[in-house]
Chain A
Amino acid sequence: MPADFISNLYVFVLAAFVGFEVIRRVSPLLHTPLMSLTNALDAIVVVAAIIIAGRHETALSTVLGVVAVAASFSNMVGGFLITDRMLRMFKLSKTKKP
C-alpha cells in the first residue's frame, strides 16, 4: 500500500470528522444553502481539471480536462451565486415582540 494512500486516508478521516461536527451544527433552516455551498466547495475539483487540461499531453486528456473544467467551474460559479441569493433572503422580524 503506497505511503501516499495512508497519509490521504488520515486526511480523509480527519476531514470527515470535522465535517460531521461542523455540519451537525448547521441550522435546519439552512439545509438547502448548505447543499448548494458544499456543492460549490466540492467544485474545487476544477484545480485538478485545470492541470489535466493545461498540461497539454494528448488530445484526449485535453478534451477530458476541458469538459471537466467547464463542468466544475460552472458548479463553483453557480453554487456560490445561488447560495448567496438564498442567504440574502433570510431576515429577522423587523419589530421584536416585547
Chain B
Amino acid sequence: MSPDAAQNLIHLTYLVAVALFILALKWLSSPATARHGVLGGEIGAALAVVATLAGAEVIEYKWVVAALVAGAVVGVPLGLVPMTAVPQRTALSHAFGALAAALVGSAEYYARLPNVSRFGMAEIALEVIIGSLTLTGSMIAAGKLQEILPQRPITFRGQNLVSLSVLGAAVAIAVALVVHPENTQLFPVMVAVALLFGALLVTPIGGADMPTVISLLNSYAGLSAALLGFVLNSKVLVVAGALDGSSGFILSVIMCRAMNRSFTNVMFGAFGQVEATAAAAEEKRPVRSATPEEAAAILASASKVIIVPGYGMAVAQAQHKVRELYDAMTKRGVDVKFGIHPVAGRMPGHMNVLLAEADIPYDKLLDMETVNGEFPETDVALVIGANDVTNPAARLDRSSPIYGMPILDVDKARTAMVIKRSLNPGFAGIDNPLYYLDKTLMLFGDAKAFVAGIVHELGGHGHP
C-alpha cells in the first residue's frame, strides 16, 4: 500500500470510530439499548487505536506499548471502584483527560519550534491553558469528593479578584507568546499560572455544588480535546471533544436549573455561608415524631408510597435496606416508587446508579417532573437522607435563599415521613418548614437502622 493510501485508510477508520461514538451516545437514550452503546464505543476506540499504531508515524513502539500497559494497569482499578466512589473517579478522569490534552499540546509546541506560526501559537496556548486549569480544578474536585480536602467552601477576602487576576496573567502570557512564539521560557510559566487558576477556581466551591462543578469540568475536558484537534488538525479529536464538551455543558445547565443557580453564582458565589445566620434565627418549634413500629403500621396501610432518597441515604449505606423495604411493601401490594431530584447524589444521575445497584428496578425510579404530578394522590412520601430538595420554602418563602429552586413536592402527599438524625439543618444550612407540618412525622435515627426497623415490623427479614 502506498503511504497516501495507508494514510487515507487511517482517516477512514477514524471516521468509522466517530460514527460509532455518535451511535454509542444515541443508544444511551434508553437503558434497554445503553449497553450496545458501550460496545459501539469500545469498537470505535479500538479501531482508532489499532489504526494509529499501524500508521507510519509511529516508529518506536517500546515506550508506546509500555505506556499503554501502564494506562491499563491504572485504568482497570479505576473502572472497578464502588458505585459510591464514582463521582471522585469521574473527577479524576476529567483530570487525566485534561492532562493528556495539555501534554500533547505542549509537546506539539516544542516540536514545532522554532517555526511556530502566530495562529498556531494562539491555538496551542488556549488549548494548554484550558487543559491545565481543568487538570488542577478536577484534582481539587476529586479531593473534595474523596473528602481528602474539606467539603466546605474555602474562601478568603478578595478571592474572586485574585482568581481573575491569575487568569488575566495566564492570558497576558499567552498573548506575549503569540507575539513571540520563540520565547520558550514563557511557556512553562503560562502552564504554571493556568494550573494555579484551576485550583483557585474550584477550592472555594462547596460540596453541595459538586454536581455542577463536575459537569462543568467535564465540559472543559471535552473542550480541551476539541481544541487539541484544532492544533493537530485531527477531526476525530474535534468530534470526540465536541461531543464530550456538549454533554458536559448540557449536564451543567440541568444541574444549575435544578438548583436555580447561574454558572457565575456557582463559580463565584461560595454557597452556604449567608444562610447559617438565617437558620439560627428560627425558633424551636414542635414536631411530631414516630417509632419504626408506628411508621411500619402507616406504610402497611398505604396503597401508594413514594420514597425520596438523598445522598444521606448513600452515606449511611442504607440503599440495600431500602431495597428490602421496597420488597416488603411491594409484597403487601403497596405501589412503591422513587422520586429522584436531579441533584440527589454527588454527580448527575448518581442516585439512580446507587438504587440500581441495590436491585431496584429502573422503571420505579421517576424523575422530578414525573413524580411531582403523583404526590397529591400519594399516601406516604418517605424522605430518606434528603433535605433541601424537599424544602417547601423553595416554593413558598420569597426570602429563602433557595427560593425558586425546583423541589420534590413531598408536602403535597397525605403524610410525609422524614428519616433524619436530628433537626440540624442540612448541607446548605437552611431550615426546612416541612418538618413542622401537621402531616409530617419525623423518624429520628440512623437511616440504615431505622429502615431495617421498619422492614422488621413489616415481616421482612431486616434485622436492625
Q: How large is the interface on B (under 10, 10 to 19, 20 to 34, 35 or more residues)?
A: 35 or more
Q: Does B136 contact A (CB under 8 A)?
A: no
**The residue from B31, B38, B63, B218 contacting A53, defined by CB atoms under 8 A apart:** B63
In the complex, are the beta carbons of B59 and A55 less than 8 A apart?
yes
What chain B residues lie within 8 Å of A75 (beta carbons)? 75, 93, 96-97, 100
Q: Does B237 contact A (CB under 8 A)?
A: yes
Q: Which residue of B lies closest to A89 (CB)?
A: B356
In the complex, are the beta carbons of B348 and A32 less than 8 A apart?
yes
In the complex, are the beta carbons of A27 and B31 less than 8 A apart?
yes
In the complex, are the beta carbons of A87 and B34 less than 8 A apart?
yes
Q: Does B106 contact A (CB under 8 A)?
A: yes
What chain B residues lie within 8 Å of A29 (beta carbons)? 31, 349, 352, 362, 365, 367
Q: Does B67 contact A (CB under 8 A)?
A: yes
Q: A39-58 CB contact bits vs B (8 Å, 1 = yes)? A: 11111111111111111111
In the complex, are the beta carbons of A86 and B363 less than 8 A apart?
no
**The residue from B38, B49, B80 contacting A46, defined by CB atoms under 8 A apart:** B49
In the complex, are the beta carbons of B246 and A61 less than 8 A apart?
no
Q: Does B68 contact A (CB under 8 A)?
A: yes
Q: Does B17 contact A (CB under 8 A)?
A: yes
Compute how far the CA of A50 lies from the CA of B237 in the bound complex, rounded to whole angstroms.
13
Q: Does B86 contact A (CB under 8 A)?
A: yes
Compute how far the CA of A5 lies from the CA of B126 in the bound complex, rounded to whole angstroms.
14
Assess A15 versus B243: contact at CB under 8 Å? Given A32-B349, A45-B237, A64-B107: yes
Query: Which of B18-26, B165-173, B400-408 binds A?
Result: B18-26
Please provide the chain B residues from 309 to 349 with a CB less than 8 Å away from any CB of chain A in the complex. Answer: 335, 340, 342, 347-349
In the complex, are the beta carbons of B25 and A74 less than 8 A apart?
no
In the complex, are the beta carbons of B31 and A90 less than 8 A apart?
yes
In the complex, are the beta carbons of B93 and A36 less than 8 A apart?
yes
CB distance from B247 to the nearest CB of A (A): 4
Q: A12-35 CB contact bits vs B (8 Å, 1 = yes)? A: 100110111011111111111111
Q: Which residue of A lies closest to B101 (CB)?
A: A45
* B35, B93, B233 interface centre (most CB from chain A within 10 Å): B93
In the complex, are the beta carbons of A35 and B243 less than 8 A apart?
no
Compute how far the CA of A12 lies from the CA of B246 in the bound complex, rounded to whole angstroms.
11
What chain B residues lie within 8 Å of A40 (beta carbons)? 41, 45
Q: Does B144 contact A (CB under 8 A)?
A: no
Compute how far the CA of A19 lies from the CA of B99 in the bound complex, rounded to whole angstroms.
23
**The residue from A31, A54, A67, A83 contacting B61, defined by CB atoms under 8 A apart:** A54
Assess A11 versus B364: contact at CB under 8 Å? Given A46-B100, A61-B111: no
In the complex, are the beta carbons of B348 and A48 less than 8 A apart?
no
In the complex, are the beta carbons of A42 and B362 less than 8 A apart?
no
In the complex, are the beta carbons of A79 and B71 less than 8 A apart?
no
What chain A residues lie within 8 Å of B247 (beta carbons)? 19, 23, 34-35, 38
**The residue from A4, A36, A54, A91 contacting B233, defined by CB atoms under 8 A apart:** A4
- Give 5 A-B contacts (CB < 8 Å), ordered by A residue: A11-B239, A15-B239, A18-B22, A38-B218, A78-B76
**14 additional contacts, CB 8 Å, given A25-B26, A33-B28?**
A8-B233, A9-B230, A19-B245, A19-B247, A22-B25, A23-B25, A30-B34, A32-B348, A38-B25, A51-B52, A64-B103, A70-B70, A74-B71, A89-B353
Q: What are the 7 tightest A-B residue pairs by CB atom distance, in nearest-first order? A: A81-B79, A73-B71, A31-B349, A77-B75, A54-B58, A19-B246, A74-B75
